[in-house]
């Protein structure tokens, strides 16, 4: 993109219009020739202020390349945003799954502790120190 905008000067200031035009850049289209074609004849002699564009296969190819580059940059930005969103989803899911895993481990530990306690209550020592009563 051009860094400055050119306003063509119709006043005779003893400067060649070609020099004025050579100093100017078109800010809207990087492929514009910047040569004043005030009457459509390409010589810069009229006062209509129109600018003709350079045409040809190289310019067309350059325009296509420029537009493709813009599309590529836009798509790269979209990809970056999608990657960020994907990572956020993954982080959220991992956090939820980790919480579920922690809850399951806690529940499993509590269950195992309950089974151990019941097993200890039911265990009869081999040496027979416990009295077993049979009720009929």
Write the pLDDT tens digit of every residue in 19-50. 555 555 444 445 554 444 444 444 444 444 44
Q: Are 9 and 1 in contact (CB under 8 A)?
A: no
Assess if residue 128 is contained within a domain.
no
pLDDT of residue 130: 56
Expressed in angstroms, the distance from the first to the final Cα of the chain is 103
- Is pLDDT of 106 > 70? yes
Assess if residue 11 is contained within a domain.
yes
Residue 49: closest CA among 60, 40, 62: 40
Q: Please indicate, yes or no, whether residues 67 and 12 belong to a single structural domain of this protein.
A: no
Q: What is the pTM of this model?
A: 0.35
Write the pLDDT tens digit of every residue in 108-132. 999 998 888 887 777 665 665 555 6
**Exposed, middle or buried by CB within 10 Å (0-12, 13-18, 19+), for 113?**
exposed
Assess if residue 79 is contained within a domain.
yes
Q: How far is CA 5 from CA 26, 50, 74, in A?
A: 6, 14, 26
Assess if residue 132 is contained within a domain.
no
Q: How far is CA 75 from CA 57, 70, 79, 81, 89, in A?
A: 27, 9, 6, 10, 21
User: How sure is the predictor about 18, in pLDDT bands with cuts at 50, 70 and 90?
Assistant: low
Assess if residue 47 is contained within a domain.
yes
Q: Please indicate, yes or no, whether residues 45 and 99 belong to a single structural domain of this protein.
A: no
Q: Please indicate, yes or no, whether residues 67 and 110 belong to a single structural domain of this protein.
A: yes
User: CA 50 to CA 42: how far, in whole Å?
Assistant: 10
* Domain around 43: 1-54
Mean pLDDT score, 66-80: 94
Q: Please indicate, yes or no, whether residues 64 and 75 belong to a single structural domain of this protein.
A: yes
Residue carrying the six token digits 């190819």: 61
Q: Please indicate, yes or no, whether residues 47 and 61 belong to a single structural domain of this protein.
A: no
Q: Please indicate, yes or no, whether residues 5 and 48 belong to a single structural domain of this protein.
A: yes
- Is pLDDT of 62 > 70? yes
Q: Please indicate, yes or no, whether residues 50 and 3 belong to a single structural domain of this protein.
A: yes
Q: Please indicate, yes or no, whether residues 30 and 69 belong to a single structural domain of this protein.
A: no
pLDDT of residue 81: 95
Q: Please indicate, yes or no, whether residues 34 and 63 belong to a single structural domain of this protein.
A: no
């Amino acid at each position: 993109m051009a860094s400055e905008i050119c306003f063509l000067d119709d006043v005779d200031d003893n400067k060649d219009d070609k020099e004025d035009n050579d100093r100017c850049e078109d800010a809207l289209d990087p492929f514009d020739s910047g040569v004043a074609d005030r009457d459509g004849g390409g010589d810069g002699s009229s006062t209509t202020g129109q600018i003709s564009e350079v045409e040809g296969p190289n310019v067309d190819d350059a325009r296509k390349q420029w537009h493709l580059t813009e599309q590529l940059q836009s798509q790269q930005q979209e990809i970056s945003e999608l990657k960020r969103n994907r990572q956020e989803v993954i982080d959220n899911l991992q956090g939820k799954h980790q919480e579920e895993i922690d809850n399951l481990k806690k529940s499993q530990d509590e269950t195992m502790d309950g089974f151990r306690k019941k097993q200890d209550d039911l265990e009869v020592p081999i040496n027979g120190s416990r009295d077993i009563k049979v009720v009929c």
